[in-house]
Structure 1
Amino acid sequence: MTIRLALVRQRYNPFGGAERFVATTLEALMRKNDDLSLTLITRKWSGGELKHGVIECAPPYLGRLGRDRSFARCVQRTLARERFDLVQSHERIAGCDIFRAGDGVHAAWLEQRSRQQSLLGRIGTALSPWHRYTLAAERAMFADPRLRAVICISELVRDDIRRFYGVPEQKLHVIYNGIDLERYHPGLALEHRAEVRRQHGIPEAAPLFVYVGSGFERKGVAPLLAALSRAQATDSHLVVVGADKKLESYRQQAERLGLAERVVFTGGIKNVLPYYGAADAFVLPTLYEPLSNAVLEALACGLPCIVSDHCGAAELIEPGVNGHVCDALDVAALSAHLDRLAQPGVAAGMREAARAAVGHLGLAAMSERLLGLYRSLL
């Protein structure tokens, strides 16, 4: 029996982890099962040629609220017109069979965000039409009786959904993102370490941390810079890979902290493999992150990782074995973790354990779990 599956994702950004996951998942599912017919419903896709059907939902809009609301309405009209066996949405849209919570729980994100906001900032968030719409859409989607399953990309996401919306346990399925273990591997160090360090003037023996992610405020670049400036290992370097509208202000922060010679900002780049290969360890002190593909990639490359306790990937970290975990805003703890991994031989001694942490998360394993869920629902 051919399963007609529709995947809903509003947009594709080649620098976004969630969007890259959709592209990877589509191809992995198509390779895994000839009886699966895939259709992508999207506003805009700029990720390259697709080997499956695409339905564009691109009504005109004004502003972020208008963008999300108009897309949701267009998707709902499309689903009423088309006939699919299953509809899996990666957006907060009621009327779908499956919701993949790849962006986490908006209510949980706002809870964490409020920790670093001023009183006026919290009031502004509470009054924001877009945040109010997103929370209402999230609430309506989880309460919709047509929702039959939720793919939680970490236990963190599952627990947040239960806590905020009381979704029954039987609807919640934890399926971690798959990782291409052949593309991301410890051998990248042999290919890229020397050249990348030469390009950026980083000494071969200097401890090098890499950060990968866009949206610096949420993902903790400011606390990371502060922690690096406090670290006792004054030869440690940091490469920040990712795009941000305020990137220049973070460069200025690094200069004020005396880090201009030890921090490199690359901006958004599509191929991050050379930087994984050049680094000794990975760091992502994010305020809220449902999982983080970048952490999975770094672990697969044999890099011990420092992550926050509100990052789903913290579930894969065994402190002192393949990395460390701390509160996103605890600059002192983050600085201490940087110093531990900067000690000679410490990060290198964790490489094998880092790789082993994601050895069970290959693309084939993820595809099997997804297909098993689809078949159970049918």
Structure 2
Amino acid sequence: MKIALALESFDPQSGEMEALAFEFARGLLRLNHEVHVVAQHFSKAGSEIPIVPHRIGSSRSPLRRAAAAEAKLRPLRADVVHDLGITWYADVFSSRDGSALGEQQRQLADAAWWARPFKRMVIRRSPRRRQQAELAIRQLDGDDSIVLAPSQMVARDYCVIHDLAPERVRVVHPGVDIKKFSPHIRKLRREAVRRRLGIDARTLLLLALADDYQQGTWHVVFRALRRLSGKRVPAHLVVVGDRRVTPPQRLVDRFGLAENVTVVGPIDDRLPYYAAADVLLVPTRYAPFSLSLLEAAACGLPSITTQGNGAAELFTDGSDIHLFDGGAADLADRVERFRDSARAERMGLAARRTAMKHPLDRSFSQVVATYEEVATARARAVRNDGAVLALEHAAGSDFVHRRAA
């Protein structure tokens, strides 16, 4: 098949979705499909595999970017066009952001009652927010495209908030490379990484991936850390990721946690930090699917997150994950439970078993099956159109023949 993928950046280092898209393209190439990629940015790694790149100009406007992608996609006449969140021209649509309207509703619900009118005003007056909402509506409009949801939570948002027909929505949980992300890495690298970070064996190392955090969630984590410090629970937070989304040092200092927080900054490889950590913290208010939960679980590293994380639906609270209520007190309580090393080890083993049920090739096969469904339906439609034209032509010829007689 001739398959076109549309996304903002074809760079496996840009984020979770981009890394999955890159591996997905490689999988399609191994199956001898012709793969075209429409994107604003292509990394060096992207140029080293035999895709056909189509670059669009950089734009801060979601609508202009969507139109530019459509202009590149239409002439390709691909068997399947899969949009990963940047345009409205597609046979298959999926987005790492899930339902933008669903996220806005949760933000309003989480806000104090007196702050909700102000938040609504900010959302309505933000040109970028308005454009994102318009793009989301156009992406989900119509009856032909198939919408892939990364979790049941997002699928419900699509059906309830966007009023999509359930038969248009398919849940495909992202998978994880269970060979790359494996418990053996913890045995090989744990001590060396902790030594480099200056964290001793008795201290709980709490890992935070900055890309998983939203504005306001740092305050929850820092208040929990302060509670733990007050109870003399040895805990140290290690933050990795883009410095544009890591907590500013002044916030760390304001909470009096300079000795309890280490900001590493951007990294190319999460594995060493999964190896060193005792628990992964993902205190999100809304996340369609945090792949980091599966990656950590595959390494035997348990996590703490909320019900607002779509990936949490794969796990069982208290068995292979801890779900907290979003407050600092409950988060501190969940972290403290990891002082029981035997209990933590059991949870890590259970998390690994859960991750093994969701390998990367499983989600890959589900998406390819969707492509084949689209291509088959398109071929059937072409045949039906051809048959109708043939009948119309035959009927026209018969009419002309009778007139001549």
- When the two structures are superposed, what TM-score results if normalisation uses the length of structure 2? 0.85
Identity %: 25
| Paired position in structure 2 for 1:198 | 195
- Map 1:328-367 onto structure 2 (within 5 A): 328=326, 330-367=327-364
What is the CA RMSD across the aligned residues, in angstroms? 2.0
The structure number with the bigger radius of gyration is 2
Secondary structure, in 3 states, of the residue corresponding to 1:165?
coil
Greater RCO (Cα-Cα under 8 Å, separation 6 or more) = 1
Q: Supply the distance in 2 between the matched residues of 1:252 and 1:47 (Cα, whole angstroms).
A: 36
Q: Supply the distance in 1 between the matched residues of 2:325 and 2:124 (Cα, whole angstroms).
A: 24
Quote the offset at 1:376 in angstroms: 1.8
- When the two structures are superposed, what TM-score results if normalisation uses the length of structure 1? 0.91
Secondary structure, in 3 states, of the residue corresponding to 2:68?
helix
| Paired position in structure 2 for 1:8 | 6
Q: Is the 8 A contact 2:212 2:282 kept in 1?
A: no
Q: How many pairs were matched up?
A: 367
Q: Supply the distance in 2 between the matched residues of 1:10 and 1:246 (Cα, whole angstroms).
A: 19
Q: Is the 8 A contact 1:104 1:157 kept in 2?
A: yes
| Paired position in structure 1 for 2:314 | 316
Is 2:165 the counterpart of 1:168? yes
Q: Supply the distance in 1 between the matched residues of 2:338 and 2:44 (Cα, whole angstroms).
A: 36
Quote the offset at 1:92 in angstroms: 4.7
- Map 1:91-130 onto structure 2 (within 5 A): 91-114=85-108, 115-116=110-111, 118=115, 119-130=117-128
Q: Supply the distance in 2 between the matched residues of 1:319 and 1:297 (Cα, whole angstroms).
A: 18
Q: Is the 8 A contact 1:15 1:269 kept in 2?
A: no
The one of 17, 23, 35 equivalent to 1:38 is 35
Q: Supply the distance in 1 between the matched residues of 2:191 and 2:92 (Cα, whole angstroms).
A: 45
Q: Is the 8 A contact 1:216 1:222 kept in 2?
A: no
Q: Is the 8 A contact 1:240 1:265 kept in 2?
A: yes
Q: Supply the distance in 1 between the matched residues of 2:218 and 2:315 (Cα, whole angstroms).
A: 20
Quote the offset at 1:101 in angstroms: 2.6
Q: Which consecutive unaligned segments of at least 5 residues does structure 2 have?
A: 377-405
Q: Which consecutive unaligned segments of at least 5 residues does structure 1 have?
A: none
Q: Supply the distance in 1 between the matched residues of 2:104 and 2:205 (Cα, whole angstroms).
A: 32
Structure ranking higher in helix proportion: 2
Is 2:130 the counterpart of 1:132? yes
The one of 38, 56, 76 equivalent to 1:82 is 76
Secondary structure, in 3 states, of the residue corresponding to 2:81?
strand
Secondary structure, in 3 states, of the residue corresponding to 2:65?
helix
Q: Is the 8 A contact 1:214 1:244 kept in 2?
A: no
Q: Supply the distance in 2 between the matched residues of 1:154 and 1:252 (Cα, whole angstroms).
A: 36
Please list every run of at least 4 consecutive aligned residues from structure 1 whose deviation after the TM superposition is greater than 3 angstroms: 116-122
Query: Relative to structure 1, is the Cα distance of residues 320 and 255 closer, same or farther in structure 2, using a 3 angstrom cutoff?
Result: same
String of CA shifts for 1:83-126, please: whole Å, max 9, x gaps.
10010000152221000132211111222233348443441222
Q: Is the 8 A contact 1:9 1:90 kept in 2?
A: yes
Q: Is the 8 A contact 2:183 2:300 kept in 1?
A: yes
Q: Is the 8 A contact 2:304 2:334 kept in 1?
A: yes
String of CA shifts for 1:282-332, please: whole Å, max 9, x gaps.
11001211101111110111111101111011112211111211233x222
